[in-house]
Amino acid sequence: MVSGISIWLARNTYRLGGILGYPLLRPILYHRVRRGKEDRARLGERLGRSNRQRPEGPLVWIHAASVGETLAVTSVVQNIHEFGISVLLTTGTVTSARLAAERFGDTVIHQYVPLDALPAVTRFLDHWRPDLAINVETEVWPVTIAELAKRKIAQVVVNGRISDRSFDRWMQRRELARTMFSRFSLVMAQTDLDAERFADLGALHVAVTGNLKVDRSAPPADDEALQALKNAIGARPVWAAISTFDGEEKNAADVHAALKETHPDLLTVIVPRHPDRGDALAAQFSAEGLSVKRRSLGESPDAETDIYLGDTIGDMGLYLRLTDIAFVGRSMTARGGQNPLEPAMLGTAILTGQHVDNFRDTYRQLRQRGAVRTVDSTEALLQSVDLLLRDEAAREHMIAAGYAGVRDMRGALIRTMKGLERYLAPLILEARFSARPKAVPEKKRVPIVPERMPEQNLRKALQ
């Protein structure tokens, strides 16, 4: 009884706080605009307002928090759109909005996700009236989840993942977690561990489908820009430190300085996770006596360049095609790790620190193949880079192992689309009927809780 009261208080206190604090949201959003974290012209979308009309027929709402989630769900979005179903894609960052525009153009409706406050969420759902809500990885927004459940709109999680920190935090509020997670109609998790965690937190229907990020194509690169950089670099040996966090850029610069004695032509490419740190990093490297060129300024490395600073967004495919060796950051001075799949897809020997909890299973599978070396200090990083620069056979073995690891992990897209069959089939039928001139039959709500995973594919379901 006491726990039930505490759950009710927690849920309704959050809900009431959103209502009472709603007048403060606009000043907060303007503050974020000044920091470059919001689009001033589209602030209304964060409050649930839109100048776009809802299209006729069925509509699936897909939420992908940021760039990584948007990239992961690209093929799912394309598959659903090809069935004749309108797709509303929401994201929460300016960079992911740009990516959505580049990847999907006018084929998908993009909106910024509404803030999790009752007035914003209600306005958003009243306008868009989605038939199905798909959440990529997992962003648990209590008001949004409750309002979707209230309207009997099925909520499905794809590419589900729960980090150690998030799991521990939810386990401290286990009863509240059960109230939230039990409202998901289906959770398709990346790994067995993720599936266990979702179940522990209250999800009733959980399946393991794998990581959608493995099934997407390697990040692209502009051919002309790539060739220009390769011409500028020539035959110089190159290694890269990518997706780095504060402190790891210094580690990479120290490695470069030490290796210059034995590899005098060495070029180090450093790609910070947050490119807006470019000015500070360039000043730091220069203060250490290193010559720096910056991608954001349109500069190319010359014979004297020590560090090529990749302080731009969306060019990872370009940077990784310049090297055979890549240290993946947020793993030495920061924790959690960054995704090693792109370096594996693009043929690099992968180095990482010890703190890769957010991508534990991916690193485990690549490590079992021999595609990854773990380093626990700047000295260990230096030794590994030195070894791989010298030993072509060791480098090629790791590269081949990375390709094999990616190949073995593929298949998540097929399994995910199969899991969505039960929810998409009635919407596909509705889309077909909506396209005909005759009267449209009464709309049927897609099922909320599946009894089992469907056995037939979508094509058979519609025959």
Complete DSSP assignment for 406-421: HHHH--HHHHHHHHHH
- Please state, in angstroms and rounded to a whole number, the distance separating the CA atoms of residues 462 and 240: 49
Using the Cα atoms of residue 391, residue 395, residue 396 and residue 397 in order, give the sign of their dihedral: positive
Q: Which two tokens stand for residue 418?
A: 């199969």
Q: Cα 182 vs. chain centroid, distance in angstroms?
A: 24
Burial class for 356, CB neighbours closer than 10 Å (0-12, 13-18, 19+): buried
* Closest C-alpha among 181, 46, 63, 202 to residue 132: 63
Please provide the distance, in angstroms rounded to a whole number, between the alpha carbons at the two ends of the chain: 51
Using the Cα atoms of residue 155, residue 161, residue 166 and residue 167 in order, give the sign of their dihedral: positive
b vs e for 282-303, b when ≥16 Cβ sit within 10 Å of the residue's Cβ?
A: bebbeeeebebbbbbeeeebee
Beta strand 238-244 with 325-328 is parallel
Query: 388 in helix, strand or coil?
Result: helix
SS (H, E, C) 26-84: HHHHHHHHHCCCCCHHHHHHHCCCCCCCCCCCCEEEEECCCHHHHHHCHHHHHHHHHCC
b vs e for 121-147, b when ≥16 Cβ sit within 10 Å of the residue's Cβ?
A: bbbbbeebebbbbbbbbbbbbbbbbbb
Question: Which DSSP helix (H) or strand (E) runs through 86?
Answer: strand 86-91
Q: DSSP label at 275?
A: G
**What single letter denotes the amino acid at residue 60?**
V
- Please state, in angstroms and rounded to a whole number, the distance separating the CA atoms of residues 225 and 434: 46
Residue positions annotated with a catalytic role: 69
- Please state, in angstroms and rounded to a whole number, the distance separating the CA atoms of residues 10 and 56: 38
Query: 132 in helix, strand or coil?
Result: strand
* Closest C-alpha among 320, 363, 354 to residue 334: 354
